[in-house]
Structure 1
Amino acid sequence: MYSNSIDAQAQMMSKNMNIPKIDENSKEDKLREQTDAFESVILKMLMDNAMKDEKNLFTEQNDPGEKIYKSMYRDELAKASAGGFGFSQMLYDFLSEKR
């Protein structure tokens, strides 16, 4: 029962996000790019969830573009941080061993 809800959540997230495909047969540098891209998706999801209820200290009203701007900022932050949290390295090592 619990795994069914996880599968449903994964399918819903894959529809909403552009999850990178990982080809375990690709060259080392391409595989590293793919695992870093996957890690950036994980980081973006973590930041989105952590900052979901963030309130702005300086203004009471929400600007219509504020959500979009903050989402884009977190996306770029996740891309810049990818490769430094260990998810990418762990996945890269696992896929490299399978060759």
Structure 2
Amino acid sequence: MQTDSSVALLNANYNPTPTSVDNTEQNDALLKEQTDKFEAFFLKQILDIALSSDEEGGLYEKDAGDKIYKSMYNDTMSNALSGNLGLSEMLFSYLKEER
């Protein structure tokens, strides 16, 4: 018995192309997400430098995991602040014009 798989192959390669409006909106959303992530990375670098004090009575006491706690705190703060500083919006506008 022979099985006809031509219809299955056609359906496997079926990829409906979205309209250009949907594609543009999706690209803008992805670009905005990436610029927000870049801003979060930039803010984390700033926070790492600003909060890297070796003085007594800092935010975290000296123990085995103090570097981990500082890094986790800086990650959370940078993600919370990203998108609100203006760097992300400026970069998004510049990259959108270049397309």
- TM range, normalised to the smaller chain? 0.5 to 0.7
Counterpart position of 1:83: 83
In structure 2, C-alpha distance between the alignment counterparts of 1:65 and 1:82, rounded to whole Å: 26
Counterpart position of 1:46: 46
Counterpart position of 2:68: 68
Counterpart position of 2:98: 98
In structure 2, C-alpha distance between the alignment counterparts of 1:51 and 1:79, rounded to whole Å: 16
Aligned length: 72
Task: Provide the TM-score with structure 2 as the length reference.
Answer: 0.66
Counterpart position of 1:57: 57
Moved >4 Å (runs of 4+)? none
Task: Provide the TM-score with structure 1 as the length reference.
Answer: 0.66
Structure 2 unaligned spans of 5+: 1-25
In structure 2, C-alpha distance between the alignment counterparts of 1:63 and 1:57, rounded to whole Å: 13
Rg comparison, structure with higher value = 2
Residues 37-92 of structure 1, C-alpha deviation per residue, up to 9 Å, x if partnerless? 0000000000001111153427xx61110111111111111011100001100100
Counterpart position of 1:36: 36
- What percentage of aligned pairs have identical amino acids? 42
Q: Letter of the 1:29 partner, please give it.
A: A
Structure 1 unaligned spans of 5+: 1-25
SS of the residue corresponding to residue 96 of structure 2 reads helix
